[in-house]
A = this chain, B = another copy of it.
Amino acid sequence: CTATLAAAQQSSVTIFGVLDVGMQRIKNGSKSLNLESIDGLQTSRIGFRGQENLGNGLSASFHLEGAIGPDVGAGGDWRRRATVSLASKDAGELRLGRDYTPTFWNISKFNAFGTNGVGAASNLVYGFDGASGTAKTVIRSDNSIGYFLPEGLGGVYGQAMVAAGEGSTGRYVGARIGYAGAGLDVALGVSSTDNTLAGDKFKVINLGGSYSIGPLKLLGLYHVSKQTTREQKNYVFGAHYAVGSGIIRASYVNAHSRNSANGEDYTGKLIALGYVHNLSKRTSLYATASQVDNSKTGRFLIPGGSAIIAGQDSSGLEAGIYHSF
């Protein structure tokens, strides 16, 4: 078929990326540390992607994306995403490789600071059980097969993922279903990961949403992580308010841990306030202040500073430059 041949003969690759560098002051307990910080607004990265039209509504595509650490020149892998896809306009997309888990997207999308910088809700969501470990599928999964619903379902979107454990931990099954329309965006995610060789399941369920009215966008997230008797519950509220070519961002994050590694229950709270000034669609300046309060044996913290003792507080201040290409 002529269309297929023509498509096969043209191959275009898009290079894209982000450099985001700033200065940060983290105070954990009584110890302060000044840092050159990265990724305060978006994670620094470089990537390559492309799509091939196969005709009849079918397409093949690839996406390679790796993190960069511009403070020290780090980089080299494609562990942000490395996938190949076959997609049909009517039937949806089949995607294989290393990719984000469905449950990650609710954490990322439904809090005012995403998963970057001192104000990110992820500072209190990722750290299951305070200082204990977390399943390696909280953000992404190796060895995954994903399916994405096609567009044109009246605002309904969704995805499901399974990932092979390959004889080790990390076997994952999860899904996310949402609706976006008329200023509203709401989604539910669930997942289960084989997190120990004995087969203990790390389970996540989260429900998030956002609603835009004029210059204001409200965001909310409820997130639960469980493994055997341990449990962490988070609720997150936030807002964006557009002023001129900038956005004011505010967030409140609550984390409550039950049956922690040392047997206790504790609570942590994060409040954050920040401003993003857009110099263009590709370039911004930003500043954020954040404070974490721990109760009892809580050891929640803003990462990057000194270690903290249970119950100590943590605060962070950062300002930086974001540039995308």
**A11-B325 contact, Cβ under 8 Å, with A60-B279, A97-B19, A167-B33:** yes
Question: Chain B residue with minimal CB distance to A31?
Answer: B167
Residue tally, chain A, CB below 8 Å to B: 71
Contact A280 B8 (CB under 8 A): yes
Q: Is A82 an interface residue (CB 8 A)?
A: yes
A142 and B8 in contact, given A35-B166, A84-B21, A164-B36 (Cβ under 8 angstroms) = no
A75 with B76: CB separation less than 8 A: yes
Copies of this chain, complex-wide, total 3
A16 to B11, CA, bound (A): 9
Interface string of A112-151 (1 = CB under 8 A from B): 0000000000000000000000000000101111000000
For the complex, would chain A's binding face be called helix, strand, loop or mixed by DSSP majority? Answer: strand
Please, which residues of chain B bring their CB within 8 A of the CB of A78? 68, 70, 73-75
A66 at the interface (CB under 8 A from B): yes
Q: Is A15 an interface residue (CB 8 A)?
A: yes
* B73-A76 in contact (CB<8A): no
Given contacts A73-B142, A78-B74, contact A46 B48 (CB under 8 A): yes
Stretch among A50-58, A186-194, A208-216, A247-255 lining the B interface? A50-58
Contact status B35-A283, CB under 8 Å: no
Instruction: For the complex formed, measure the closest distance between the CB of A162 and the CB atoms of chain B, giving whole angstroms.
Output: 10
Given contacts A19-B83, A52-B280, A282-B8, contact A96 B36 (CB under 8 A): yes
Distance between A152 CB and nearest chain B CB, rounded to angstroms: 23
- B-side contacts of A167, CB under 8 Å: 33, 306
The chain B residue with its CB closest to the CB of A162 is: B36
Closest chain B residue, CB of each to CB of A7 = B280
| Nearest CB of B to A297, in Å | 26
What B residues does A280 contact at CB under 8 A?
A: 4-5, 7-8, 52, 54, 60
6 nearest A-B residue pairs (beta carbon): A76-B76, A73-B79, A36-B143, A19-B84, A8-B281, A70-B97
